[in-house]
Amino acid sequence: MSQTTTGEFTTPTTTTPTLAAAATAANWKAIVTQKQEECKRKIPPAWLLPESITSALKLPLDTNPNKLLELDIPRRSGILTEHELSITEDFTVGELLGKLAAGQLSSVEVTVAFSKRAAIAQQLTRCLTETFFEEAQKRAAELDERRARGEPLGPLHGLPISLKDTFHIKGQETNIGYVALVGSVQTSNSALVDILLELGAVLYVKTNIPQTLMTADSDNHVYGRVLNPHNTAINAGGSSGGEGALISFRGSLLGVGTDAAGSVRIPALCCGIYGFKPSTARIPYGGQARSELPRLGQILAVDGPLAKDFDSLEFFFKTVLDAEPTRFDSTALHAPFRSNAQLLASKDGKLTVGILAEDPVYPLQPPVKRIINEAVIKLLAAGHRIVQLDAAECQIDGANEIAMEMFRLDASVLPNMIAQGGEPPVPSVAALYGSPQPDRFRHIAGIEKLQGLHRQAFLNLKRHQVKEAWRKIWINNKLDVVLGPGAQNTAVRHDTYGWAPYTCLLNVLEYPAVVIPFSSASKSKEPEHFTMPERTTGPDYVPDLVDGAPGSVQLFAPAMRDEECLLAARIVDECLRER
């Protein structure tokens, strides 16, 4: 395979087609069929869902609202034993690690349990790309033997962890949803993979993503569309959508995604789980597959955890930082975990919380407005101070204009990679990149006269101005954190999510941010269909379709204040979970 490899990235070239790409110009469907059959064969026959289960589903899954979590298919299928169901359902990550350390559970039985459940999730939601169950069980057996000899590797010893498809694992394929890259078996690990293995983790699956990695609908021709376990007719988010669906289904309790415009946080909010986007370069990103030119736009993707419980976010972050990431990745910052983090402004144990204003260009759907209001009421009742921020000073629209222009600096790479495989764009990619964008993305005064480095420098200056404006917001309002929506909407109908303004803002600012599951959409509370007004953008609200979809809030702090962000998020999470 023709690739460009640096210490930070492994990026497919756009000049010389791979052998797979040359072949697929005429028969890309045949290559996809062959790849999908290969993936199916990797699921053991005993783990295949019985016809009694599949025949009861409403087909096709992606247009009929099958509420998989309510159907309790893992238990009804008979594939998992009662013991394995308990392993996957009754413990947090911390509790599982405690039982592994005490010898009450073996890594083999934990790995088999989550592998079985992941296989079931795959058959229902297409959440996986590559599976390596046999290799994972072998690794788990070796870890059990080492523990028996008194040789524990580290704090993750024996724990299964799932990874987004972008991560390279030696001996496994990474094609990031491009037909042109099918068959790209890797010869080395990404930096974070080496860290997780050194810490004792078991890797068993990689998870599904969108074609191009640049939409919130995880859909590609190679592996198919990811479905939401809460409701298969709504999206699971992207670009780490497979992680969101798998963890929501409890086929994993802790996984790792990446985030350049919301790709950790969007699946978290769509699938009702926790997600954390750290500050840029604190978690090592080196050695991953990307489909754009590295560092050209300067909005850098970051690795971040997705999990079923909040504690796992902080545990993952601290554990990886304690492993000294700069030993593995030259682009990682030397910024050890600060265990003495304190609230930024408040001194009495109560938070001062700014409330992110709704941007008039990106109106919030009725359930999202209600969920934010419910959160504010709970925070006020707990004694926390609330500061309502102004839409003009938050500059959400302006920051997203900058982001869109920065992403466009290397926009030719995405269609070139699609063309090399002979495949068409999937619907969400065609909608975002296949036609001229609305004028709202083109009215940064003065940019139309600039090209090349002058255009890039101009955008960097505009970005600095937004960062400076936000510095003043923090200081002038004496804020600890800011709370707001993660999106205009909950999960929505497939291919309608569109742009991601409320998450992308924080990639422009390079702030850490946490998505906390809270409440849900409700057609009884918001029964009226809501259509986006003229001169605005975003998906419409369809009450019957999204009824019961997970709700959430997003909490963020200034750059490099990850520990404070997590500290405040813990306080907010506990407050929101109190009745």
Residues carrying an active site annotation: 164, 239, 263
Q: Tell me how crowded residue 442 is: count the other CB atoms within 10 A of its CB.
A: 13
Burial 117-150 (b: 16+ CB within 10 A, else e): bbbbbbbbbbbbbbbbbeebbebbeebbebbeee
Helix pair 310-322, 562-577: axis angle to 10 deg: 160
Alpha helices, DSSP H, located in 102-210: 107-125, 133-148, 191-198
- d(Cα 41, Cα 29) in Å, to the nearest integer? 18
Q: Is the separation of the CB atoms in 193 and 167 below 8 Å?
A: yes
Name the residue among 124, 131, 306 with its Cα closest to residue 227: 124
Name the residue among 271, 254, 274 with its Cα closest to residue 92: 254
- Report how far apart, in Å, the C-alpha atoms of 3 and of each of 415, 454, 490 are: 17, 28, 37
Q: Is the separation of the CB atoms in 303 and 275 below 8 Å?
A: no
- Report how far apart, in Å, the C-alpha atoms of 558 and of each of 154, 423, 504, 565, 578 are: 31, 41, 15, 8, 27
Can you say how many angstroms the Cα of residue 221 is from the centroid of all Cα atoms in its chain? 20
- Report how far apart, in Å, the C-alpha atoms of 316 and of each of 68, 201, 304 are: 28, 11, 9
DSSP at 178: -
| The two three-digit tokens of residue 553, written as one number | 């809030």
Q: Is the separation of the CB atoms in 77 and 50 below 8 Å?
A: yes
DSSP at 173: B
Q: Is the separation of the CB atoms in 207 and 525 below 8 Å?
A: no
End-to-end CA distance of the chain: give it in Å, rounded.
55
- At 121 the three-state DSSP class reads helix
Bridge-based pairing of strands 202-207 and 274-277 is unpaired
- At 524 the three-state DSSP class reads coil
Residues counted in the chain: 579
